[in-house]
Amino acid sequence: MRNIKLVLAYDGTDFAGFQVQPGKRTVQGELTAALAKILGEEVKVIGAGRTDAGVHARAQVVNFATAAPIPTGRLSAALNSCLPPDLTVWQAEEVPADFHARYAAQGKTYRYLIHQAPQPSPFLRRYSWHLPRPLDVTAMQAAAAQLIGEHDFSSFCAAGGAAKTRVRTLRRLTLGGEGGLLLVEAAADGFLYKMVRNLVGTLVEVGRGAFTPDDVQRILAGRDRSLAGPTAPPQGLILWEVDYGRGRGPETPGGVALTPPWACVKITL
């Protein structure tokens, strides 16, 4: 059996999430169906992470075992000819038998886009959280700095998560941007269920003045989801990178770094 690794990009707007769900359109379901058509056999697709409904991915990683002899150099194009336009396979490669997209991952990076402007933009509505009033970004940055490190993130974990422990190491939580676009980047050894969206929702409450930067210490210590801010909506979130210890993120076969649809958009307040 061969072990094949794929790197995917998708617009999550019209998917009910990554994981297969009966009667619903999912990334895993669409990919599994396309693989069956190309390979002539049913395979089990393992994902690095289970993105929620409406969440996007720049570089989701999956792997599967197959006996099919198709060269990996042809697999991406073959799959893309069968896949819908909101799901693309960027890379395909044969990897060692012990590679597991989820368990081999050493960390993940997510990015979340906030659009601050009096009126929403139709061009950003699928990829950002629109907020009509400006936020205190300096206060948000001060709050974010206090969340870095190893903590029990129970206050930022939504009900329904099945993690054995809620201790995670948040390696990076940064905010920056211009022209009305505020980008939040979070990198960790792993994330709890809806953790990034709950972190963003809490930082936005700091930016609005509902919390102070120092309140995040109280929220962390409380280990109670009700203490933190609301869950940010899904459309602003993108799985940016899965870290397998190689020091760089995936690229397209042509060598051009993958970028989300809003990367070249500049909005002036």
Residue range 151-163, pLDDT digits in tens: 999 999 998 767 7
The answer to whether residue 195 scores a pLDDT higher than 90 is: yes
In Å, the largest CA–CA distance within the chain is 59
Contacting residues for 47 by C-beta, under 8 A, at least 6 apart: 18, 19, 27, 28, 60, 61, 62, 101, 102
Q: pLDDT band at 239, cuts 50/70/90? A: very high
pLDDT score for 106: 96
Q: What is the pLDDT of residues 76-86, one digit of tens each?
A: 999 999 999 99
Contact 194, 52 (CB under 8 A): yes
**Catalytic, out of 11, 14, 52, 152:** 52
Active-site residue 52, yes or no?
yes
Can you tell me the mean pLDDT for 134-154?
97
pLDDT score for 260: 54
Closest CA to 62 of 80, 42, 44: 44
262 versus 54: which is more confidently predicted?
A: 54
The answer to whether residue 257 scores a pLDDT higher than 60 is: no
Gap between the Cα atoms of 66 and 43, Å rounded: 7
Gap between the Cα atoms of 232 and 238, Å rounded: 13
- Count CA atoms within 13 Å of residue 237 on its CB side: 25
pLDDT score for 259: 52
pTM of the model: 0.91
Q: What is the pLDDT of residues 39-71, one digit of tens each?
A: 999 999 999 999 999 999 999 999 999 999 999
The answer to whether residue 256 scores a pLDDT higher than 90 is: no
Can you tell me the mean pLDDT for 201-225?
97
Sign of CA dihedral 151, 154, 155, 160: positive
Question: Over the chain, what is the mean pLDDT?
Answer: 91
Domains, the chain, ordered by start: 2-104 (3.30.70.580), 107-242 (3.30.70.660)
Gap between the Cα atoms of 87 and 164, Å rounded: 31
Looking at residue 257, the DSSP 8-state letter turns out to be B
